Amino acid sequence: MLLDKLKSYSIVLASQSPRRKELLSGLGIDFTIHENTTEEVLPQHLTPCQTVEYLAKNKVDSIAPQYDLQKTIIIGGDTVVCRGNNIMGKPSDKRHAIEMLQQLSGEKHIVISGLCVLHKKRYLCNHDQTTVYFNPLTDEEIMYYIDFYHPFDKAGAYGIQEWIGYQAIERIEGSFYNVVGLPTHLLWKMLKEITDDD
């Protein structure tokens, strides 16, 4: 089983996201966290799918020189919220968060998460996407959510696992965990693939 095989590696998560930490723990994998300090700069010439893979790889590359990659597997991830081909990013302040949620209200959008896994000199990069359908939100509901949950560190100004997910999300098409920030089913496949030759 993969879990037994992974015990012979040092698994490192290049992320400061508490949600990714929680989801990786849910897979039963022992790992350490190395918070990367790279600034998330969104390249202009890439599609949203290419962007999340680029950012995930950037996180991996920022810490890779500090590890023996013969014995280590490094995991990086990034998530964006898109309306059409426009990446919404994270809100810069309260007003920006209000504008984002007003745009999402009563509409559908796409959440894309990119993954990068590095072992030895081999990179695996991939992504997953989920379509999210929002019910209409009143201004009062938007203000309540922002005031009580402060979603300023979240792409699209919301977390599906919080109050707004219970109340406002009509349905999703795709992986729930992808929207939270880590497509666990995809990561499992990538870990199998990258350890196959060992």
pLDDT beyond 80 at 23: yes
Q: In this predicted model, what pLDDT tens digit does every residue of 155-189 receive, in sequence order?
A: 999 999 999 999 999 999 999 999 999 999 999 99
Question: Which distant-in-sequence residues (6+ apart) come within 8 Å of 179 by Cβ?
Answer: 79, 111, 130, 132, 160, 172
Q: In this predicted model, what pLDDT tens digit does every residue of 96-127 receive, in sequence order?
A: 999 999 999 999 999 999 999 999 999 999 99
Contact 60, 118 (CB under 8 A): yes
Report H helices in 130-195: 139-149, 163-168, 176-180, 184-195
The pTM score is 0.93
Mean pLDDT of the chain: 94
Among candidate residues 4, 30, 61, 78, the one labeled active-site is: 78
**CATH top class, domain 2-195:** alpha beta
Would residue 61 show up in a list of annotated catalytic residues for this protein? no
Lowest mean pLDDT among 20-29, 81-90, 123-132, 153-162: 81-90
**Which band of pLDDT confidence, cut at 50, 70 and 90, is reported for residue 45?**
confident
Lowest mean pLDDT among 42-46, 152-156, 183-187: 42-46
Dig out the tokens for 52 from the structure: 């999340």
Question: For residue 150, what pLDDT is reported?
Answer: 96
Q: What is the mean pLDDT of residues 46-60?
A: 94
| Three-state secondary structure of 40-106 | CCCCCCCCHHHHHHHHHHHHHHHHHHHCCCCCEEEEEEEEEEEECCEECCCCCCHHHHHHHHHHHCC
Dig out the tokens for 88 from the structure: 């919404």
3-state secondary structure of 175: coil
- Chain Cα centroid distance, residue 77: 5
